[in-house]
Amino acid sequence: MARVIFLEERCKGCQLCTAVCPKGIIVMSDSTNGMGYHPASVPEQDKCTGCGICALVCPDMAIVVEREEKAV
């Protein structure tokens, strides 16, 4: 179980995350945020594996990735 949270107000719409997502599930919103950018979002959260690659390339730290802790 994983979840990716896009901090819409921090996103500048650069789209770098869209190109690296292995599942190809990151899309740009039609709406704009407070800075006037179209922020990235993941409508199909259930397809997210929480790999974190999107967050790795995000220059604005607009992406937080959460994962279930593995049982030790």
Tell me which residues in 34-63 interact with other proteins (CB under 8 A): 37, 50, 52-53, 55-61, 63
13 lines the binding site for other proteins (CB under 8 A): yes
Q: How far apart are alpha carbons 13 and 6 in whole angstroms?
A: 11
Beta carbon nearer to other proteins, 9 or 44: 9
Residue labelled with tokens 């740009």:
28
Determine which residue in the list 30, 43, 46, 68 makes contact with other proteins, applying CB under 8 A: 68
Looking at the chain, how many residues does it have?
72
Beta carbon nearer to other proteins, 24 or 64: 64
The DSSP bridge partners found for residue 28 are 40
The DSSP bridge partners found for residue 4 are 65
